[in-house]
Structure 1
Amino acid sequence: MSPRPDVSDARKKQIIDAAINVFNRAGFKDARMEDIVKEAGISKGLVYWYYKSKEELIIAITDHLFGEEFNRMEQADDPSIPPRECLTRYFDLYVIDLAGMLAFSPIIYELYALAFRNATVKKVMRGYLERFIRSVEPIIQRGIDAGEFNTVNARQASIAFGSQIEGTLLLWAYAPDSMVVEKQLQEGISMLIKSLIQEETEDAK
């Protein structure tokens, strides 16, 4: 007899997808575990087997939303290509993923607000900030070391890129009709990359 397939990952995804739909509609505060059970279409006991509370589900959703995105973006880091091209590829992947992420904007911004009040969520969100910095900083540092980029603090420059993204998305959330968010992000990122480029001196010409 062949072994039974492991369905735990599929069940977790089923529950997370249901929780995302419920949280998107009702928000974290008003959503109930019973609503998630109904949305998932499985038994209450099975939902609680995997996730004991809304907080556990919120952490799982954070990993689901940000973890997969970072996994794809980090694949763009290729030390064999020029740092400028590598950095451009990295953020191009972010913009490509953005369309899918915008559908979850209510949840994402509620996560940011929740991080001010919930130490566990704050720790998780801080972890993803550090992961972003760790993935961008080496690319910038390679550009500095190769003389392609100006001599800057690579960590601070990485944070500047993150601030560009978060600031643009926050403005879009308030006034979505004021911009095409993908184009605005591409323009802002392009300006930051250009600001890193080492200008050719007269002696080098």
Structure 2
Amino acid sequence: MSPTSGVTPPAPLKTPRRRRVDTARREELLAQVTDIFLAEGFTSVTVEDLTRRMRCSKSTLYAIGSTKEQLVVAAAKHFFGTEADRIEQTVADHDEPQIKITTYLEGVAQAMRRNSSAFYADMVTYPPTAEIYARNTARAAERIREMIGDGVRSGAFRATNGTFAAQVVALAIEAVQSGTLLERTGLSAAESFAELADLLFNGLRHDS
């Protein structure tokens, strides 16, 4: 259609204005949002609360996400991503399979201690964050299976015990993620991972 046809083009859709921020500033903002959500949960915290406490404008927050839902998802991904990197760096400092596994699980326990009960409850009941949690839980189970497999191949673990332990750990981690193990034991997720680390340390040794 020609420009002279007399038809007025539709007005552009309005989208939230975003203030340009550099990568370092964005990471700083995301870390602040994550810390607030981890401490207090995210259901009761509004965008206005965040801007007031972080002393920034809504347009600045839009560099992370243009809605509260996007902020929540970004914070959950940031938490699990940064903690996974930290844990893997710590594990990389060790060579012995036994120590690698317990270091990994103790690292997961330490990460989960950052979760307040409010955040954990919000996370597992909000589908987008529950999915993020489930994906990371599945990855944790897979990492433990990989490390146990390495231990079996190196001769540090007995093959039968190693295979069985890998399956038990996977089931335990899944039970923590689903809440079943927490309900039946009264432990928190962090306490459960710490107990699992101790159980493996005493149960997988070749001389046990």
* Length-normalised TM-score, structure 2: 0.66
Q: Deviations over 1:22-81 (max 9, x none)?
A: 6744x4333322222222211122222431111111111112222221112122445982
Which one of the candidate residues 5, 12, 21 is aligned to 2:36? 21
What is the aligned partner in structure 2 of residue 37 from structure 1? 51
Partner secondary structure for residue 31 of structure 1: coil
Q: Aligned-pair distance for 1:197?
A: 3.6
Report the aligned-residue RMSD: 3.5
Q: What is the rounded CA distance, in whole Å, between the counterparts of 1:8 and 1:66 in structure 2?
A: 19
1:16 and 1:61 in contact (8 A); partners too: yes
Partner secondary structure for residue 139 of structure 1: helix
Q: Does 1:142 align with 2:150?
A: yes
What is the aligned partner in structure 2 of residue 72 from structure 1? 86
Q: What is the rounded CA distance, in whole Å, between the counterparts of 1:18 and 1:78 in structure 2?
A: 29
Q: Does 1:126 align with 2:126?
A: no
Judged with a 3 Å threshold, the aligned counterparts in structure 2 of structure 1 residues 194 and 43 are, in CA distance, closer, same or farther, namely same
Percent of aligned pairs with the same amino acid:
19
Amino acid at match of 2:148: I
What is the aligned partner in structure 2 of residue 191 from structure 1? 199
Q: Does 1:7 align with 2:22?
A: yes
1:77 and 1:139 in contact (8 A); partners too: no
- The runs of 5 or more residues in structure 2 that have no matched partner are 1-20
2:148 and 2:162 in contact (8 A); partners too: no
Greater RCO, CA 8 A, separation 6+: 2
Q: What is the rounded CA distance, in whole Å, between the counterparts of 2:142 and 2:196 in structure 1?
A: 21
- The runs of 5 or more residues in structure 1 that have no matched partner are 1-5, 174-180, 201-205
Partner secondary structure for residue 30 of structure 1: coil
What is the aligned partner in structure 1 of residue 6 from structure 2? none
Judged with a 3 Å threshold, the aligned counterparts in structure 2 of structure 1 residues 45 and 151 are, in CA distance, closer, same or farther, namely closer
* Length-normalised TM-score, structure 1: 0.67
Partner secondary structure for residue 50 of structure 1: coil
What is the aligned partner in structure 2 of residue 48 from structure 1? 62
Q: Aligned-pair distance for 1:140?
A: 0.7
Partner secondary structure for residue 43 of structure 2: helix
Judged with a 3 Å threshold, the aligned counterparts in structure 2 of structure 1 residues 12 and 74 are, in CA distance, closer, same or farther, namely closer
2:106 and 2:193 in contact (8 A); partners too: no
Which one of the candidate residues 104, 115, 118 is aligned to 1:106? 118
Farther off after superposition, 68-77 or 90-99: 90-99
Which one of the candidate residues 74, 81, 85 is aligned to 2:99? 85
Length, aligned pairs only = 180
